[in-house]
Amino acid sequence: MSFDRPNFRHPKLAKNSAGYSRTDYEGAISTLCAGCGHDSTTNAIIQACFELSIVPHRVAKMSGIGCSSKTPAYFLGKSHGFNAVHGRMPSVATGANMANRELLYIGISGDGDTASIGMGQFAHALRRNLNLNYICMNNGCYGLTKGQDSATADKGSVGKRGAPNMYASIDLCELAIELGASYVARGFSGDKQQLVPLIKGAIAHNGLAFIDVISPCVTFNNTSTSTKSYEYVREHIEATNTFDFVPLQQEILAQYSEGASQEVVMHDGSIIHLHKANSSEDVTDRLQAVNKLELEKKRGRLLTGLLYVNPDIQETHDIINSTLRPLNTLTEADLCPGNSALQRINESLR
Amino acid sequence: MNKRESVNDFVVRFANVNGSGSASANNLFARAIFRLGVPVSPKNIFPSNIQGLPTWYEVRINEHGFLGRRSGVDLAVAVNGQTLYQDYQEVLPGGYFLYDSTRELSEKFNRDDITVIGVPLTTLCNDEFKNPKLRQLLRNIIYVGALSFLLDLDFSILTESIEKQFRKKPKLGEPNIKALELGFAYAKEHHAGVCRLSVRKSKKLGDEILMDGNSALGLAAVYAGATVTGWYPITPSTSVVEAFERYSRQFRTEQDTGRNKVAILQAEDELAAIGIVIGASWNGARAFTATSGPGISLMSEFLGLAYFAEIPAVLVNVQRAGPSTGMPTRTQQADLLACAYASHGDTKNVLLFPCDPKECFDLGADAFDLAERLQTPVIVMLDLDLGMNDHICAPLVWDDSRKYDRGKVLSAAELDSRQEKWGRYLDIDGDGICYRTYPGTHPTKGAYVTRGTSHNEYAGYTEESPIYQAGMERLLVKWQTARSLMPPPRIKIRDTGFAVGVVFFGTTTHAAYEAISRMAEQGLEINSLRLRAFPFQDEVVEFINRHQMIFIIEQNRDGQLRTMLMTEIGVSPRRLQSILNFDGLPITADFITKKIQALLADEHQENLQVSQGGQA
Ligand SMILES: Cc1ncc(C[n+]2csc(CCOP(=O)(O)OP(=O)(O)O)c2C)c(N)n1
Ligand code: SF4
Ligand SMILES: [Mg+2]
């Protein structure tokens, strides 16, 4: 069941530079379990879009199947959404993006949707560097089918079902880096402070931005023995950096000390300003990114933050050299060669 | 020995080794006959392999214009050592066997009812040409030269073809012409007056073209304005997208920027391929993919989504012999049920059945209009024979005043001027088709979430039975609308007594018409219906009901069209007799004629028994 919110607007509600208030970015009321991490992630998306003054109806929300994939109904109610089939969000998003390169694409998936049934499509969307904000709401289990272990569940982790997971877990961030993703981050649904800028950076990025959001399932996988529970994540979280996201039009006000900060200029001219724990860190270095993930894993810590970014990469449309006009706006005059050309083809076939 | 004798009515079969460059020589031969105005139908019979296995190229030459396959070989051109004896055995009595006499035939080649024609292709070739890479290709051209003499085939037609082919690189054309001359001269010197088959210039053909169905389809997609394709390679469908790509390079480059007005993505598998198509169509671009049986199986889940969420999708299925990997390089029409009802739950998909390249072009372009008008998947059903072989057909035509039918799509202005509340799945016209919106159209109106879960008229999720059921029933109303939009069947009535009727579709067409005309010569007039689409129109029902006996001719084992006719229009199974060819080779008129005659004889026998009270 879903509800419509009353369309009441408080006159004092703050508006962003595009003239929208935060409520303009909301969707239908969530039907997920109370306390579900996915709802917090949804809120972070709303916040990021609001703060970036995204024009709501110029966004397309794509998803697969799962509790996580239901969330596009709960944000950006003025945008079209596509709740596709299990594990296949990337291909539908690819087609949609090919048809109209001017919209902003937010793809929502779950860890089951991405790391198991959809592993192939995940890998290939990365490889093509599709201009898509790919958010995986990762709870280490299949929420919608009642809590089976997913492929991201840590070995030995025990959810509500009671049996420890016996298999190695897949680290989607590491994989994403290896498969050629150009923006890789990990967030935690319980840390909005960090998550919102991560999503903003993803939106500014031109290419595939992958964010693995640890997003606990309160119903099936929030036990003290689960490594994807609120409690465990809070205790083991380790941020690689914090950063400010500075949109194009805004001037940089803060002063940053040399060495411990890094500036990444995004495709659209906005800037990500990182404050790093270690001055020799470089988020544009793939090798370092993977090393750090492995290192923290060894220490039993869960590394979050912006892990890797390559702002100078070509996205799919650049690679295939497609027209800058959205393909879905082309008409007969642009597309159909006409009968005289056809008669020449006939002639060549005689 | 009675030598086979014929002008413009015989079969030449080339036996080659896969990957030896024989295709261009064989094409040169077939096209030369076509250019002489003589109806010709070449068929590739090839293995699922890249190099080294036997492959055949059968060319039927037929003055009457019967272009179906004919079994039996009048003249074999045997240049494959592996199959030499088999090829020798398969020549019809009185026929001819041309071989590379650089190596002598062994003693077991001892038939005395055929004419053996030796041409030392390898020796002639190696003596003349030094480049080892060219040698292999030119050896094949030499036999074409020899055939030119043996069949009295106008030599200048061949040289003109070569010149046309190498117009831009005349230097490369020269050795080819030399090779033709070598073969011609050798045959003239050693085999004058031996062969009694000949090709004579004819007026039978006018402005026809010679083209393969897959190229015609790829071209149709360009003309129909397809801008997005996701695809995954699979024989025999690959050349559909290759043609689309080739013609796009020619016609879809933006003049001022050099950018492409098309997005062609080789997907990771067929699931992704159809996903890309659905995503693009949802977002307002015309999109299509091409595949074959195994791909259809993989795409099934997505097809159900497109059916239920009502998203246009154009899919080309170039059928090959199944089940499973089956015979990937052989032809069949065995995916009818898999396509018509692809996906779980109550799903039905529109099918179109072209019979030649011209129809591939026409129905291929129509498929885009139909898919958008009906907001549903439309599957164009080819088969390997149609897709990968060259066929003679009428020239392609495009009506320049034609506008794409984008179906019921609301613009921002239309959303604004609308009085009633818009519902994505609200049928306000009674035709079962609702209005859709593209993403990004309007700041506050027309947005919704597309989903494969059940939905109400306003696209909201629902599990309320009456709402779900009403939606499913509306899809049936749309199905009725679809019937009225399908290309009508082609009906030919010869017998107004309506005794015997046959129903067929696709590449069975030529063989079926040939069989019908043969039986007419023997005094049996048969009516025919060539089916062109599913859902079936009233004409199909009427045709079947009107006849005492109906034969359904198909190229599959299980009589899939017959099953569909039984369930969809309720024809009694007893009234529909199957004629089924499923050996993986194109069906022949011989086969059809024999089956019909045998079935009619059986029927006659039964009637006799009944009328004589023969059953105790
Ligand atoms: C082809 C197919 N197989 C199985 C399912 C059943 N199914 C629905 S959701 C789901 C798992 C979802 O897990 P995840 O992606 O992690 O999402 P979560 O519910 O945990 O957010 C499964 C297996 C399905 N819908 N489709
Ligand atoms: S089952 Fe788990 S993932 Fe699904 S809504 Fe409930 S808490 Fe969230
Ligand atoms: Mg999950």
Cα separation, A199 vs A185, in Å, equals 9
Q: Look at residue A39 and tell me whether its pLDDT is greater than 50.
A: yes
Return the pLDDT at B615. 47
In a domain, A220, yes or no: yes
Q: Do A92 and B441 touch (CB under 8 A)?
A: no
Give the total number of structural domains in chain A.
1
Q: What are A143-165's pLDDT values in tens digits?
A: 999 999 999 999 999 999 899 99
Contacts of B51 (CB under 8 A, 6+ apart): B18, B19
Q: Ligand 1 pocket: which of A40, A144, A152 to mutate (most atoms <8 Å of CB)? A: A144
Q: Which member of B277, B283, B400 has the closest CB to residue A328?
A: B283
Give the helix ranges, DSSP H, for A52-116.
67-70, 89-99, 111-115
SS3 category, B153:
coil
Q: Which protein residues touch ligand 1 with a CB less than 6 Å away?
A: A 65-68, 86, 110-113, 137, 139, 141-145, 150
Q: Which member of A77, A98, A336 has the closest CB to residue B223?
A: A336
Helix axes B560-569, B538-546, angle to 10 degrees: 100
Tokens standing for A152?
Answer: 């991201």
Q: Do B283 and A96 touch (CB under 8 A)?
A: yes
Strand partners, B73: B91
* DSSP per-residue letters across A276-304: ESSTT--TT-HHHHHHHHHHHHHTT-EEE
Question: For B7, what's the count of Cα atoms within 13 Å in the CB-facing half-sphere?
Answer: 5
Q: Look at residue A250 and tell me whether its pLDDT is greater than 70.
A: no
Q: Look at residue A254 and tell me whether its pLDDT is greater than 70.
A: no
Tokens standing for B176?
Answer: 């080819």
Q: Which protein residues touch ligand 2 with a CB less than 6 Å away?
A: A 32-33, 36, 38, 67, 139, 143-144, 217-220
Q: What are B299-338's pLDDT values in tens digits?
A: 999 999 999 999 999 999 999 999 999 999 999 999 999 9
Return the pLDDT at A6. 54
Q: Do B439 and A80 touch (CB under 8 A)?
A: yes
Which of A89, A128, A345 should be substituted to probe chain B, the one whose Cβ sees the most B Cβ atoms within 10 Å? A345
In a domain, A332, yes or no: no
Closest residue in A to B403 (Cα) is A332
Q: Which member of B209, B257, B453 has the closest CB to residue A346?
A: B209
The predicted complex's ipTM stands at 0.95
Q: Which residue has the higher pLDDT, A251 or B513?
A: B513
**Phi and psi at residue B351, to the nearest 5°:** -120, 145
Do the beta carbons of residue A138 and residue A215 sit within 8 Å? Answer: yes
The two beta strands, A141-142 and A148-149, are antiparallel
- Residue B443 CA, ligand 3 centroid: distance in Å: 33
Residue A2's pLDDT band (cuts 50, 70, 90)? very low
Tokens standing for B498?
Answer: 């309506």
Tokens standing for B252?
Answer: 């879809």
Q: Mean of the per-residue pLDDT values for chain A?
A: 92
Q: What are A283-298's pLDDT values in tens digits?
A: 999 999 999 999 999 9
Nearest Cα neighbor of A129 from A171, A79, A156, A94 is A94
Cα separation, B445 vs B441, in Å, equals 8
User: What percentage of chain A exceeds 90 in pLDDT?
Assistant: 81
Domains located in chain B, CATH noted: 6-198 (3.40.920.10), 211-393 (3.40.50.970), 412-471 (no CATH), 490-611 (3.40.50.920)
Angle at B83 between CA B80 and CA B88, to 5 degrees: 100
DSSP A96: H
In a domain, A334, yes or no: no
SS3 category, B316:
strand
Q: Please report, for the domain that includes residue A96, its CATH number.
A: 3.40.50.970
Closest ligand 1 atom, CA of A87? 15
Instruction: State mean pLDDT over A224-251.
Output: 86
SS3 category, A157:
coil
Residue B170: asked if its preceding bond is cis (omega within 30°), the reply is: no
Return the pLDDT at B614. 45
Contacts of B120 (CB under 8 A, 6+ apart): B100, B101, B102, B186
**Phi and psi at residue B5, to the nearest 5°:** -130, 130
Tokens standing for A110?
Answer: 């779950």
Burial of residue B493 (number of CB atoms within 10 Å: 0-12, 13-18, 19+): middle
Q: Look at residue A203 and tell me whether its pLDDT is greater than 90.
A: yes
Output b/e per residue, B196-205; b: 16+ Cβ within 10 A: bbebeebebb
Residue nearest atom 8 in ligand 2 by C-alpha distance: A36
User: What percentage of chain B exceeds 90 in pLDDT?
Assistant: 92
Residue nearest atom 11 in ligand 1 by C-alpha distance: A142
Return the pLDDT at B48. 82
Q: What are B123-147's pLDDT values in tens digits?
A: 999 999 999 889 989 999 999 999 9
Q: What are B221-254's pLDDT values in tens digits?
A: 999 999 999 999 999 999 999 999 999 999 999 9
In a domain, A150, yes or no: yes
In a domain, A331, yes or no: no
Q: What are B433-444's pLDDT values in tens digits?
A: 999 999 999 999
In a domain, A345, yes or no: no
Tokens standing for B292?
Answer: 């074959």
Burial of residue B532 (number of CB atoms within 10 Å: 0-12, 13-18, 19+): buried
Which of B219, B449, B455 should be substituted to probe chain A, the one whose Cβ sees the most A Cβ atoms within 10 Å? B449
Q: Look at residue B342 and tell me whether its pLDDT is greater than 60.
A: yes
Q: What are B392-409's pLDDT values in tens digits?
A: 999 999 999 999 999 999
Give whole-number Cα distances, B60 to A29, A108, A308, B46, B63, in Å: 69, 57, 63, 17, 10
Q: Which chain A residues touch B35 with a CB distance below 8 Å?
A: 350
DSSP B515: H
Q: Do B252 and A335 touch (CB under 8 A)?
A: yes
Q: Look at residue B490 and tell me whether its pLDDT is greater than 90.
A: yes
Do the beta carbons of residue B460 and residue A2 sit within 8 Å? Answer: yes
- Residue B276 CA, ligand 3 centroid: distance in Å: 24
Q: How far is B559 from chain A (nearest CA, A)?
A: 33
Residue B79's pLDDT band (cuts 50, 70, 90)? very high
Contacts of A292 (CB under 8 A, 6+ apart): A240, A281, A303, A307
Do the beta carbons of residue B452 and residue B278 sit within 8 Å? Answer: no
In a domain, A12, yes or no: no
- Residues of chain B numbered 319-338 and touching chain A (CB < 8 Å): none
Q: Mean of the per-residue pLDDT values for chain B?
A: 96
How many other CB atoms are there within 10 angstroms of residue B413's CB atom?
10
Q: What are B21-58's pLDDT values in tens digits?
A: 899 999 999 999 999 999 999 999 988 887 888 999 99
- Residues of chain B numbered 122-151 and touching chain A (CB < 8 Å): none
Q: Which member of B274, B400, B447 has the closest CB to residue A80?
A: B447
Q: How far is A276 from chain B (nearest CA, A)?
A: 38
Residue A100 belongs to domain spanning: 22-320
In a domain, A343, yes or no: no
Closest residue in A to B37 (Cα) is A350
- Residues of chain B numbered 409-468 and touching chain A (CB < 8 Å): 437-444, 447-453, 460-461
Contacts of A1 (CB under 8 A, 6+ apart): A31, B461
Q: Which chain B residues touch A123 with a CB distance below 8 Å?
A: 268
* DSSP per-residue letters across A245-273: EE-TTSPP-S---SSSEEEEE-TTS-EEE
Closest ligand 1 atom, CA of A110? 15
Cα separation, B232 vs B38, in Å, equals 38
